[in-house]
């Protein structure tokens, strides 16, 4: 079998790309084929990628969006594939555990790791990870925890996605109708499921995710990001003839969950408040108020570094938050 191909598409954010590749080199002893896609970058990413030894480098003269950049890499890939965002940091055991989960059963088509930043069950709450050493220590501890294993999933987030070769052959490339990004990973999960494959979360594989760096580099934050999200939601609904919760319903649910969190805080139950605020973020990831309130609770609990991360996320979504 061919070694795994690791595809990293990138548009700008050179410093994040450098940190990602450095962590990959440090923590990926398994045989692999590294494919770097310069997706129309203008800040030196292409020049940096050309200096990475033993990597296949692909340059696009313009930004093809996440799906388009991924597809350039997929066409050069062999064997199973891992798609990896350029704003991730890798840690001990990440690939061995991820591939182990992907290849353990013949009908598993997709596998994803756990992380600090991803809407849905892949996200671990309450993490304070402000250095690579802290990330590595958490990852090593999870690798050694025999209570953790592989759990079924209905959807996986595309920040780090392992794809079985047979599932890739069945589902094909990513759908480029989703442009810059959003919902292309939901669409791919749907196609892999319809091809008869399952998807799983590898609980012992941890990948740190900064989150939203490419969108930020393109100025897609706040209202602009929400507009893109809605546009691609409509494309996804039209393609699959279904209806997802509308933004108004989503916003109302997030607001109700924040109110529930406030009630628990007043009753002296901050851990319950954290749980409801996490659900509010999952219900409406583009709402700055939920990140702001979560930061405040974490600050009161003495988790200043983690609180600052969520405060920065709130500010990125809405400068006045």
The Cα 209–Cα 119 span in angstroms is: 12
Domain boundaries defined on the chain: 4-222, 245-317
Q: CA angle at residue 197 from 163 to 100, to 5 degrees?
A: 50
What's the token pair of residue 175?
A: 């759908």
CB 113 within 8 A of CB 92: no
What's the token pair of residue 182?
A: 């959003």
Percent of the chain predicted with pLDDT > 70 = 92
CB atoms within 10 A of CB 235: 18
Q: What is the mean pLDDT of the chain?
A: 88
**pLDDT value, residue 171:** 96
**pLDDT value, residue 248:** 55
CB atoms within 10 A of CB 61: 8
- CATH dotted code for 4-222: 3.90.550.10
For helices 247-266 and 288-300, give the axis angle rounded to 10 degrees. 20
pLDDT above 70 for 245? no
**pLDDT value, residue 241:** 83
CB 25 within 8 A of CB 90: no
Residue 58: pLDDT band with limits 50, 70, 90: very high
**pLDDT value, residue 216:** 55
Going by their DSSP bridges, the two strands 32-39 and 55-60 should be labelled as: parallel
For helices 222-240 and 304-317, give the axis angle rounded to 10 degrees. 80
pLDDT above 80 for 136? yes
H/E segment holding residue 254: helix 247-266
**pLDDT value, residue 6:** 98
Q: CA angle at residue 186 from 185 to 192, to 5 degrees?
A: 85
- CATH dotted code for 245-317: 1.25.40.10
pLDDT in tens, 106-132: 999 999 999 998 878 898 877 878 899
pLDDT in tens, 165-195: 999 999 999 999 987 778 899 999 999 999 9
Residue 250: pLDDT band with limits 50, 70, 90: low
């Amino acid at each position: 079998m061919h070694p795994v191909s690791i595809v990293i598409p990138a548009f700008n954010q050179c410093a994040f790309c450098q940190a990602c590749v450095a962590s990959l080199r440090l923590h990926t002893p398994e045989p692999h084929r590294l494919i770097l896609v310069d997706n129309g970058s203008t800040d030196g990413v292409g020049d940096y990628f050309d200096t990475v030894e033993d990597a296949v480098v692909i340059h696009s003269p313009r930004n093809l969006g996440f799906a388009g950049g991924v597809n350039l890499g997929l066409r050069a890939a062999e064997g199973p594939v891992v798609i990896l965002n350029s704003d991730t940091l890798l840690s001990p055991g990440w690939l061995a555990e991820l591939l182990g989960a992907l290849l353990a059963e013949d009908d598993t088509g997709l596998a994803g790791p756990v992380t600090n930043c991803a809407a849905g069950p892949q996200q671990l709450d309450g993490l304070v990870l402000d250095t690579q050493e802290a990330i590595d220590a958490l990852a090593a501890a999870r690798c050694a925890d025999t209570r953790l294993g592989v759990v079924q999933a209905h959807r996986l987030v595309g920040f780090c996605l392992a794809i079985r070769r047979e599932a890739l052959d069945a589902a094909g490339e990513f759908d480029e109708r989703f442009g810059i990004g959003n919902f292309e990973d939901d669409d791919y999960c749907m196609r892999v499921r319809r091809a008869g494959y399952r998807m799983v979360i590898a609980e012992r594989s941890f990948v740190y995710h900064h989150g939203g760096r490419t969108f930020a580099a393109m100025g897609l934050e706040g209202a602009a990001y929400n507009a893109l999200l809605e546009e691609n939601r409509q494309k996804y609904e039209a393609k699959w003839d279904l209806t997802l919760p509308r933004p108004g319903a989503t916003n109302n649910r997030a607001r109700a969950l924040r109110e529930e969190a406030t009630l628990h805080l007043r009753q002296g139950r901050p851990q319950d408040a954290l749980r409801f605020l996490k659900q509010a973020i999952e219900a409406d990831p583009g709402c700055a108020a939920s990140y702001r309130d979560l930061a405040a609770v974490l600050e009161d609990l003495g988790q200043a570094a983690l609180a600052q991360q969520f405060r920065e996320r709130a500010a990125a979504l809405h400068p006045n938050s």
